[in-house]
Amino acid sequence: MDITINVAGAEMEGRLHLPEGSGAHPAVLVCPGLTRDIAGLGFIRDALLGAGFAVLAIRYRGMNLLDDDEDVAAALDHLAAHESVDARRIAMAGHSRGSMVGLRTAAQDARVKAVAAIHPVTDFLGYVRATRAYAPVRFDALVARFGGADPDVDPAPYERYAAINYADRIKAPTLLIAGTADMHSPVHHSVLMHDALVKHGNAETRLEIIEGSGHFFEVYYGGDCREATAKLVVEWISSHV
C-alpha cells in the first residue's frame, strides 16, 4: 500500500506492507540507499513479510542527506501509531545511506529495538576526505550535498552524519553486514563500527562479512548474495524484536 507521510510540511512517499493475520505485528522500517530506490530492497521486504513483520519502506524527501534523520523519525511515528503494529517491537534495516541513518537513529530513538546496517560508511568524514585524492568527481558530488563545506576546513556536517560518532549511544542489538568486494562502502567501515560498539559496551553486536559481495549485492562474476543477506537480516531482527 502506497502512503504519504508528512514531514515538516512536506510529503514523503512510503510503501507499507502488512503480513497476513489480525492483531498488532512487529514491524521493520526499511531505509534505502542513496538513490532512494524502495524496489531495490524488495527481497528484504519480502523475507521480513514472510517472517511475520509489517514493513514500511520510505523514499526520503530528497538528496539532502542531513534531512534523513527527520524523515526516519516521522516514519517511526507513523509505524508506532498504526493499529496493526506493535509499537513495542520496531526494528530498522537499511542499505548504504539507509544503514547510516539507521545507526544514527538507533542512538537517538529508544523505539528502535534492533538495527541491521547493510554496507554502511561509518567514518564519513574520513571517507569524504579520502575521495579527494582517488575519486575527485565523487568528492565534488559529496561535498556539493553538504553545502560545499570543505571537509578539511569545516568537518562538522560530515561528523554529524558519521555513524561512528554515535557508537557510544547505540544500545540496541546491531547487525553489520559488509562485503569484501564493496568499493562504495569498504569493509573496514563496518569493522570500525563493530569495534566501537563493543568498546562502548554493546555486547549484542555482530559483524557479518560476505566474501566477494559488492555494494549492490553482486558477488564476483554473475552471482549475488540477496538471499544470504535477507536471511541474516531476518534472523537477527527475529531474535531481538
* 186-237: pLDDT as tens digits: 999 999 999 999 999 999 999 999 999 999 999 988 889 999 999 999 999 9
The pLDDT, as a whole number, for residue 139 is 95
In terms of domains, do 189 and 140 share one? no
The pLDDT, as a whole number, for residue 222 is 82
CA–CA gap between residue 224 and residue 135 (Å, rounded): 26
The pLDDT, as a whole number, for residue 219 is 94
The pLDDT, as a whole number, for residue 22 is 82
The pLDDT, as a whole number, for residue 1 is 86
The pLDDT, as a whole number, for residue 63 is 86
User: Do 101 and 36 touch, CB atoms closer than 8 A?
Assistant: no
Output the CA torsion 220→222→227→233 (10° steps): 40
In terms of domains, do 68 and 11 share one? yes
Phi and psi torsions of 153, nearest 5° = -100, -40
In terms of domains, do 37 and 140 share one? no
Q: What is the CATH number of the domain that holds 20?
A: 3.40.50.1820
In terms of domains, do 54 and 93 share one? yes
Residue 108 has a CB neighbour count (10 Å cut-off) of: 13
The pLDDT, as a whole number, for residue 220 is 86
In terms of domains, do 40 and 61 share one? yes
Tell me which residue range forms the domain holding 228.
2-123+167-240
In terms of domains, do 180 and 225 share one? yes
Look-up of cell digits 554515535: 166
* Three cell numbers written together for 237: 531482527
Residues of the chain with pLDDT under 50: none
In terms of domains, do 72 and 181 share one? yes
CA–CA gap between residue 188 and residue 204 (Å, rounded): 19
In terms of domains, do 171 and 152 share one? no
Domain count, the chain: 2
